[in-house]
Amino acid sequence: MKRDEEFFKKIKKAEKTAQYAMFFTSLATILLLLSIYDPTLSIFNSQEKLYEEVVVDEDRIENGIHVRTGLKDGKGLMTVVNNCTNCHSAKLVTQNRMNAERWNETIKWMQEKQNLWQLGENQEIIVNYLVENYPVNQVGRRLTLSNIDWYELKD
């Protein structure tokens, strides 16, 4: 009987050792897979990474366009971004076509009615940027229809 008991004990010990071995092997496998597929362990800290992206990419320019605002890259771009896109969208700027005189009047109007601050030396930089990058197009009294999306009319 004693030998049987000892035998059982040994078996149990062996079982336990095997379990430990299995556990550590699995752990090692997981760590190995992580180190291969996700070395920065980003699945554990996705929140922090999102914030980082915003800060890093804020003023990037792609194909000559300031991505955040859609404004054309050019001399004075950041002065325009910093002074002209706080209250309204840059889309309101780029839709419009004015000469320097009328841009200056518009700035004056925004200062009187819309709480725009004094621009100082930046005003000339801004107006030059606008006149150069968004010049007035002559459209006449009626334009030719353009950008027609031709399609087969059924029925």
Partner 1 sequence: MLNRRSFVKKSVLSSFAAIVGAEIVFGSNMIDGYTPLALQEPDPFKLFKKNNEMVVLNDKPWNIEAKAHLLDDKVTPNSSMFIRNNGKIPENINADNWKLVINGESVKQQKTYTLQELKSKFKHYTYQLTLECGGNGRSEFNPPAKGNQWTVGAVHCASWTGIRLKDLLEDVGIKSDAVYIAYHSADTHLSGDPSKEPISRGCPISKAMQEETLLAFQMNGKDIPLAHGYPLRLVAGGWPASVSGKWVNTISVRNIVHDGPKMTGTAYRVPCKNVAPGERVEDKDMCIIESMPVKSLITYPKSGAMIKKNKSLNIRGHAWAGELEVSKLEYSIDFGATWQECELEKPTNRLAWQHFSATIQFPKIGYYEVWAKATDSNGVAQPMVVPGWNPKGYLNNACHRIAVKVS
Output 15 or 57, the one with its CB closest to partner 1: 57
Residue 67 Cβ vs partner 1, minimum distance, rounded to whole Å: 7
CA distances from 11 to 4, 8, 16, 65 (A): 10, 5, 9, 72
Amino acid (1-letter code) at residue 63:
N
Distance CA 70, CA 89 (A): 10
Given 67, 75, 100, 111, the residue binding partner 1 (CB under 8 A): 67
Report which secondary-structure segment, H or E, holds 36: helix 2-37
137 Cβ contact partners less than 8 Å away, ≥ 6 residues apart? 97
Window 43-62: residues binding partner 1 (CB under 8 A): 50-51, 53-55, 57-58
**Residue 61 in 3-state DSSP?**
strand
Given 70, 73, 75, 78, the residue binding partner 1 (CB under 8 A): 70
Output 40 or 114, the one with its CB closest to partner 1: 114
Among candidate residues 37, 105, 117, the one with its CA nearest the CA of residue 96: 105
Window 87-126: residues binding partner 1 (CB under 8 A): 87-92, 95-98, 102, 106, 113-116
Residue 143 Cβ vs partner 1, minimum distance, rounded to whole Å: 7
Distance CA 29, CA 27 (A): 5
Q: Check residue 37 for interaction with partner 1 (CB under 8 A).
A: no
Q: Which residues bind partner 1 (CB under 8 A)?
A: 50-51, 53-55, 57-58, 67-70, 87-92, 95-98, 102, 106, 113-116, 136-143, 145, 148-153
